[in-house]
């Protein structure tokens, strides 16, 4: 490869060594298995926690079910508290009350005994074994299911917070650690002996689920600028496949333990990570490890069938040293940022203002910044998305067909994301998708009230739009933050979104379909998020990734092209 007359930047280096693109393709394929794993894990919980019809198998004495009246928990507590059974056989709801609490009448002795069932017989026509049937998680113990689901999502947020260390330790190390944790937790889960132990494992597995977003940052830092939208979108294709595989395995096996064990096959791909996942050269350069960055660039070029001359390597060495020197200088001098003019107001203030420690605190110091906008976006997406996937009968009453249909619906979302973000850009695509998704939420509530036959179609359309918006936003969030604090900003956004997703299963199971409040709040949140994205955030399409906080501060709405030219000119010696 001859030395280039162009000013050397990270973007030109990545373009020069791209060649066949084999390494980028291979890296995307093997790391995208984490998105497969994430969707498979979430969808398999539908079968793990499937609640089949059940009957009490521990009626006291020698009585049969015809001598028992099943009563609600409130009546049972009243009888136990007052010592009276006069209410016993006056209940007319015997056929609709679950067989958890009952009054048993002995016709021989005339005694009536209140009792609580502690052993159950479950219907096995749909699933032979689930967590519920194995551990008797019905009646009073049914609360554990909601705890499992919300703990998983909440710990997912904790995982995102921990993932921020990537800005201090590098991208590769935490990625491999999280992958190892996922393997261990998934392999141990089928062998849980008790509910508390399962709860701990679900927390750990939720913590490891942040792995799916690690690779996005790394991939976007390793591919040319013109291909960021391509790789950032196709990365999510296995996510839809994970949906369908969960449905297929569950239909064939009908046993939650076997589903978990067979799903471990894809961990074979995880074993390649120590060999094929390299550290980000961008991160290495900004931490004074230019020689390591050059070695990685040479490895990538070799994968891509590109020959690098010694002259080009020398130029890289000089450029990397200059980048590190500029970064150190930017840290030593205080950053004052832009004056509060029109551009500053339209960009809702730059994210970071000073050195690394104070930059971490800047999230709390400013009520309005681009990170806050992205948090609002992810909050709106997660609230509705995880509420919809909590419904095991959204597309069909058959829980296997339902998940399969949802997977088929998500299959084209990556390509739609690619088309929209590549043609319209990230900002306009995100805005359009969120506004349309918000109106689809309103449409879902209207369908419940006036067009029940259209409910499934409207709800699925909303889920489709939110999924595409999520994919576009992931690329957008990574592009908006500088390399020095990209993980901090990106994972802050993702962690905040899990606050809403953790409560989504509770919201759905409380039958929010009967309430206007949920739909109005979610719909408005989505529409408002779309509008503020368009009004305040800069467009990242065609712009290089900012390396430092100082560069990111200058990247504001309305000055994108000017900023890109300044970044290129600043590299000219």
pLDDT, tens digit (0-9, with 9 covering 90-100), for 363-421? 333 334 788 888 888 888 887 776 554 454 455 568 888 888 888 888 999 999 999 99
With beta carbons less than 8 A apart as the criterion, state whether 167 and 488 touch.
yes
Calculated CA dihedral for residues 208, 486, 371, 503, nearest 10 degrees: 0
List 102's β-bridge partners, or say none.
70, 115
Residue 250 and residue 392: Cα distance in Å, rounded? Answer: 13
pLDDT at 510 over 70: no
Residue 285 and residue 327: Cα distance in Å, rounded? Answer: 10
Residue 335 and residue 549: Cα distance in Å, rounded? Answer: 9
Q: Tally the residues of the chain.
A: 573
Mean of pLDDT values over 127-152? 89
Given pLDDT bands bounded at 50, 70 and 90, which one contains residue 506? low
Determine if residue 54 is left, alpha or beta; phi over 0 gives left, psi from -120 to 50 gives alpha, anything else beta.
beta
Residue 25 and residue 198: Cα distance in Å, rounded? Answer: 37
pTM for the whole structure: 0.83
pLDDT at 449: 65
In the block, residue with structure tokens 């064990």: 261
Sorted by sequence, the CB contacts under 8 Å of residue 30 that are 6+ apart come out as 269, 272, 273, 276, 277
Supply the mean pLDDT for the chain: 82
pLDDT at 334: 53
pLDDT at 471 over 80: yes
Q: Output phi, psi for 3, to 5 deg.
A: -65, 140
pLDDT at 130 over 70: yes
Residue 509 and residue 113: Cα distance in Å, rounded? Answer: 33
Given pLDDT bands bounded at 50, 70 and 90, which one contains residue 237? very high
With beta carbons less than 8 A apart as the criterion, state whether 387 and 507 touch.
yes
pLDDT at 299 over 80: yes
The pLDDT tens digits of the residues spanning 141-181 come to: 888 988 888 888 888 888 998 998 888 889 999 999 999 99
Number of Cβ within 10 Å of residue 348's Cβ equals 21
**Local structure of 52: helix, strand or coil:** coil
pLDDT at 65: 56
pLDDT at 131 over 60: yes
Residue 470 and residue 497: Cα distance in Å, rounded? Answer: 11
Given pLDDT bands bounded at 50, 70 and 90, which one contains residue 344? very low
Q: Output phi, psi for 395, to 5 deg.
A: -100, -20
Residue that wins the pLDDT comparison between 429 and 407 = 429
Given pLDDT bands bounded at 50, 70 and 90, which one contains residue 341? very low
pLDDT at 507: 54
With beta carbons less than 8 A apart as the criterion, state whether 229 and 421 touch.
yes
| Structure-token pair, residue 312 | 């080009």
pLDDT at 66: 59
**Local structure of 71: helix, strand or coil:** strand
pLDDT at 96 over 90: no
pLDDT at 39 over 50: yes
The helix (H) or strand (E) run that includes residue 70 is: strand 68-71
Lowest mean pLDDT among 91-100, 317-326, 393-402, 505-514: 505-514
Mean of pLDDT values over 12-35? 95
The pLDDT tens digits of the residues spanning 193-236 come to: 889 999 999 999 999 988 988 888 899 999 999 999 999 999 99
Residue that wins the pLDDT comparison between 49 and 330 = 49
| Structure-token pair, residue 393 | 């009968």
With beta carbons less than 8 A apart as the criterion, state whether 16 and 315 touch.
no
Cα 538-540-541 angle, rounded to 5 deg: 130
Instruction: List domains and CATH numbers for the chain.
Output: 32-51+132-277+334-569 (1.20.1250.20), 54-122 (no CATH)
Name the H helices within 333-412.
342-346, 356-365, 370-389, 399-410
Residue 136 and residue 121: Cα distance in Å, rounded? Answer: 9
With beta carbons less than 8 A apart as the criterion, state whether 117 and 102 touch.
yes
């Amino acid at each position: 490869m001859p030395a280039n007359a162009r000013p050397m930047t990270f973007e030109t280096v990545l373009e020069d060594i791209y060649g066949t693109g084999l390494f980028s393709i291979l890296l995307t394929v093997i790391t995208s298995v984490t998105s497969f794993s994430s969707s498979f894990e979430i969808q398999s919980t539908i079968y793990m926690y499937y609640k089949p019809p059940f009957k009490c198998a521990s009626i006291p004495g020698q009585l049969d079910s015809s001598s028992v009246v099943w009563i609600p928990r409130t009546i049972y507590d009243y009888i136990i508290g007052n010592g009276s059974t006069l209410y016993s056989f006056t209940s007319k709801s015997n056929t609709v009350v679950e067989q958890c609490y009952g009054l048993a009448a002995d016709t021989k002795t005339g005694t009536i005994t209140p009792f609580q069932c502690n052993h159950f017989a479950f219907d096995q026509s749909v699933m032979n074994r689930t967590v519920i049937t194995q551990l008797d998680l019905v009646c009073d113990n049914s609360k554990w299911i909601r705890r499992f689901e919300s703990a998983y999502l909440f710990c997912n947020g904790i995982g995102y917070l921990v993932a921020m260390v990537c800005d201090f330790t590098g991208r590769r190390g935490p990625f491999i650690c999280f992958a190892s944790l996922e393997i261990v937790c998934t392999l141990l889960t089928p062998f849980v002996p008790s509910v508390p132990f399962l709860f701990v494992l679900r927390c750990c597995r939720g913590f490891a689920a942040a792995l799916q977003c690690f690779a996005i940052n790394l991939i976007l830092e390793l591919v040319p600028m013109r291909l960021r939208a391509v790789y950032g979108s196709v990365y999510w294709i296995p996510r839809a496949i994970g949906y369908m595989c969960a449905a297929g395995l569950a239909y064939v096996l009908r046993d939650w333990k076997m589903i978990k064990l067979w799903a471990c096959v894809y961990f074979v791909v995880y074993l390649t990570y120590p060999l094929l996942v390299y550290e980000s050269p961008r991160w290495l350069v900004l931490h004074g490890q230019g020689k390591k960055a050059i070695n990685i660039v040479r490895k990538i070029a070799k994968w891509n069938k590109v020959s690098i001359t010694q002259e080009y390597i020398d130029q890289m060495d000089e450029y990397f040293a200059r980048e590190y020197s500029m970064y150190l200088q930017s840290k030593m001098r205080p950053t004052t940022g832009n004056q509060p003019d029109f551009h500053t107001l339209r960009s809702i203030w730059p994210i970071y203002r000073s050195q690394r420690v104070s930059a971490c605190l800047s999230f709390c110091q400013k009520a309005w910044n681009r990170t806050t906008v992205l948090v609002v976006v992810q909050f709106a997406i997660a609230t509705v998305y995880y509420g919809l996937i909590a419904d095991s009968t959204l597309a069909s009453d058959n829980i296997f067909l339902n998940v399969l249909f949802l997977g088929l619906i998500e299959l084209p979302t990556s390509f739609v994301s690619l088309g929209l973000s590549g043609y319209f850009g990230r900002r306009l695509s995100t805005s359009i998708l969120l506004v349309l998704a918000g109106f689809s939420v309103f449409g879902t509530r209207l369908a419940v009230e006036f067009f029940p036959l259209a409910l499934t179609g409207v709800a699925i359309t909303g889920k489709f739009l939110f999924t595409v918006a999520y994919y576009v936003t992931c690329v957008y969030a990574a592009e908006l933050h500088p390399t020095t604090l990209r993980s901090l900003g990106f994972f802050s956004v993702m962690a905040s979104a899990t606050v809403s997703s953790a409560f989504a299963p509770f919201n759905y199971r409380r039958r929010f379909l009967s309430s206007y409040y949920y739909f109005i709040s979610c719909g408005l949140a989505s529409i408002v998020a779309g509008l503020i994205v368009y009004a305040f955030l800069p467009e990242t399409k065609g712009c290089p990734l900012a390396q430092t906080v100082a560069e990111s501060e200058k990247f504001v709405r309305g000055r994108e092209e000017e900023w890109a030219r300044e970044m290129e000119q600043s590299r000219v010696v």
